[in-house]
Amino acid sequence: MTVLTLGSAAPDIEISSTGDKTLRLSDLKGKNIVLYFYPKDNTPGCTQEGRDFRDLSERFAALNTVIFGVSRDSVKMHEGFKCKQEFPFDLLSDPDEALCGLFDVIKMKSMYGKQVRGIERSTFLFDSRGNLVREWRKVKVKEHAQDVLQAVEGLN
């Protein structure tokens, strides 16, 4: 599997989304895309990150930008998380790690002294031409959504 690098086009794979939709990022040309990968629904850091993007979502929308959160959780679990947190954006379900693999976000992590495979919190920004223009890896939640918004503002 080829890993996306800066300058790469948005991937042309189908992925299941909340709202009973199937999405292809490659179909969103004309809009900027923020794709943030997070480990698990309903956990403290992931909830805060989603809330931060939620709270800035109108500003992203005003800049012709759509936001998607991605984890390995099921669409059903995503639906509950999205509803509970009032996210105005869709969450993408990647249980087979197809999208995670393209972005190389599955890493070995230490959890309670054991090595486990999990999503390394990461965010990717595609411009309106569908090209990957920024990436953030090993993301710390605090002020991250604001940093991404500033990067989007720099595109326009």
> Which residues, 6 or more positions from 97, have their beta carbon under 8 angstroms from its beta carbon?
72, 106
Cβ–Cβ < 8 Å for 54, 88: yes
Query: Side by side, which strands form the sheet with 65-71?
Result: 21-24, 14-17, 90-93, 65-71, 32-37, 122-126, 132-136
* Residue 30 token pair: 């004309």
Enzyme catalytic residues:
46
Report residue 113 as tokens.
């002294």
Q: How many CB atoms lie within 10 A of CB 127?
A: 18
- For residues 34 and 121, give the distance between their C-alpha atoms in angstroms, rounded to a whole number: 13
